[in-house]
Amino acid sequence: MTKPVLIFLCNALLLTAGPSLAQSDSPLRAPLPQFGVHNASIPDALLQAGQQSGVPLGIDASDPKLWKTRVSVRAQNANLGEALGQILAAAPGYTIAQDGRTVVIRRASGPGDLLDTRILEFRSVAGSAGDLSLKLWMTLVLQLSPSRQGFLGFNRTSPLDKLLPASDLSGKTAWEILDWIVGTHGSAAWVAVPFTGELGESSTQRDLWRLEFYPNRPGSSQR
């Protein structure tokens, strides 16, 4: 049985860097003619809904309980909002909001986390979504741990990634910047993962979030 679901639509978090969507163009109305997940974790189910609809998602899945809860959902001729609502029926206390082109699933209330950190300076030249996510991670770490001197690593770009325009997102929170990254990319999601440690020398971006690029759908045209 499907539990009744309340969907909150919040348009208050629109970023200046991205155009807002008229209500009739709401990504929550993106069609999902045949949607089904079986025994999937809630974040995985949400991601599948995002992939099938092609709508960028931001998923706060930093609560480990969200990964342990398994859901099975089948919906015919539904839209994205309805599918997300069915999935989140198993996770009370989560809201669905819209931030520019991105649909964001977050806890309705609770302690703030690292992604609520307001990034004082985030000016960027054009770069891939992966590189911008990397830059956000480094900026966040340096802002919280100013003694850190440098980063070394691996910045492989997904073949599904694309070049995003130069931007100035200074003053936005980390998750608002992530919304902008995936929303501007147009076919990706960010997923915050459970993080229990500290932002130490060996921590990585993947300790906090990861980007997921949607595979190209048959018959769809790449924007």
Cβ proximity to other proteins: between 85 and 130 the closer is 130
139 belongs to the binding site for other proteins (CB under 8 A): yes
In the block, residue with structure tokens 């709401």: 26
Stretch that binds other proteins, among 86-94, 99-107, 176-184, 201-209 (CB under 8 A): 201-209
The residue from 39, 196, 202, 222 that contacts other proteins (CB under 8 A) is 202
CB atoms under 10 Å from CB of 180, counted, come to 28
149 belongs to the binding site for other proteins (CB under 8 A): yes
The residue from 124, 167, 184, 187 that contacts other proteins (CB under 8 A) is 124
Cβ proximity to other proteins: between 145 and 220 the closer is 145
Q: Which 93-122 positions form the footprint of other proteins (CB under 8 A)?
A: 121-122
Stretch that binds other proteins, among 6-14, 16-24, 72-80, 152-160 (CB under 8 A): 152-160
β pairing state of 209-213 and 188-192: antiparallel
The residue from 1, 109, 156, 223 that contacts other proteins (CB under 8 A) is 156
Contact 80, 101 (CB under 8 A): no
- Closest alpha carbon to 151 in 131, 170, 169, 165: 131
Q: Within 13 A of 221's CA, how many CA atoms are on the CB side?
A: 1
Contact 42, 66 (CB under 8 A): yes
Cβ proximity to other proteins: between 65 and 123 the closer is 123
DSSP class of 114: G
